Amino acid sequence: MLHTTVDKEPEPTVHLQGEMDLDCAETLRWAVGDAAVGAQEVVLDFAGVRFIDSSGTGIFVRLCLDMQQRGIRLHVRNLTPAVAQVFDMLRVRELVGEEVFAG
């Protein structure tokens, strides 16, 4: 199960904790939507994510693309090795843009 906490300061950040699989969509969207209120950039901190699969990755990719369409930039931080491996495998950087992973 995915748990999230949102910090508004110093920059809107969603801290992710747990597992990202087929049922993380609602939790992730709600948290990012909350963090994005009045913001143009939101940080997703993956430090607490111990598992992700192709379903969780698909949800993350779709969220990134939806946010980009709304003019909100997502930035990813602290990818764990487990997440980084799956993102590399599925070429997520090509799908959402290298800038999501910059900084």
By CB under 8 A, name the binding residues for other proteins.
1, 19, 21-23, 25, 51, 53-55, 57-59, 61-62, 65, 82, 85-86, 89-90, 95
Cβ contact 93:102 at 8 Å: no
Q: In angstroms, rounded to a whole number, what is the distance separating the alpha carbons of residues 82 and 35?
A: 25
- Residue 22: CB minimum distance to other proteins, A: 5
Residue number with CB closer to other proteins (10 or 69): 69
- Residue 84: CB minimum distance to other proteins, A: 12
Residue number with CB closer to other proteins (41 or 53): 53
- Residue 8: CB minimum distance to other proteins, A: 26
Q: In angstroms, rounded to a whole number, what is the distance separating the alpha carbons of residues 68 and 90?
A: 20
The vertex-38 CA angle with 34 and 44, nearest 5°, equals 50
DSSP assignment letter at 13 = E
